Amino acid sequence: MKACLLIKTQPAKYNQVTKKVKEIKGIKVAFSVLGRTDVVANVEVASLKELSALALKIGSIDGVSATETLIGLEA
């Protein structure tokens, strides 16, 4: 299962959050961006349960104020 997590951080926390997100198992790539969100993480996990746990883990990182999960569709 592939997904993207859009992460909004508290002001000036995006570098710190990006570093912590990159350390999490299941994260393929994470990078800071300009726009409505501050960090984007590409995820690959085996199940919705794993994705839920990963999203909750990211949401609990110090400096994260909100997340949005976009689940990839299979064509």
The CA–CA distances, whole Å, from 55 to 13, 48, 49, 63, 75 equal 18, 10, 10, 14, 24
Quote the pLDDT of residue 74. Answer: 81
CATH of the domain at 19: 3.30.70.920
Domain residue limits at 43 = 2-71
- In the block, residue with structure tokens 């995820």: 43
Domain count, the chain: 1
* Helix (H) and strand (E) counts in the chain: 2, 4
pLDDT tens, per residue, the chain with 75 residues? 999 999 999 999 999 999 999 999 999 999 999 999 999 999 999 999 999 999 999 999 999 999 999 999 987
